[in-house]
Amino acid sequence: MNHPVTCDPRNHAYKNGKTFEDCKAEARRVTSQLAEEIVKNEAGEVSWNKILEATDHDELVYKLTLKYLREKGYDIGYNKNPRVKVDISQIQTANNEKPTIF
């Protein structure tokens, strides 16, 4: 019979012995850092490779970071455009009107 602790998915160890909750916390921290970097970056974007480096090549943290960036309103791109940038369609003015793009 299996030991109940080993069957419990909440106790599964991921890269470097982290739990899923540890991975989520790290992804939120990295997301905040990258969001600041995107705003400061002249191009207004970061590459997926930069995100992979920021997450120390941890696949779960990388995927969660992309998820959280999407939740914050960033365009996370796709395989032919591997960049995360501000999604202009998500930006709205204070009175909920679409912004004027020059």
3-state class of 18 per DSSP?
Answer: coil
Helix (H, G, I), strand (E, B) or coil at 50: helix
- Which SS3 state, helix, strand or coil, does residue 41 take? coil
Residue 96: pLDDT band with limits 50, 70, 90? low
Mean pLDDT of the chain: 81
Give residue 6's pLDDT: 47
For 36-74, the pLDDT digits (tens) are 999 888 888 999 999 999 999 999 999 999 999 999 999
* CA gap 56, 89 in Å, rounded: 31
- Percent helix, strand and coil across the chain, each to the nearest 5: 55, 10, 35
Count of CB atoms situated within 10 Å of the CB of 29: 13
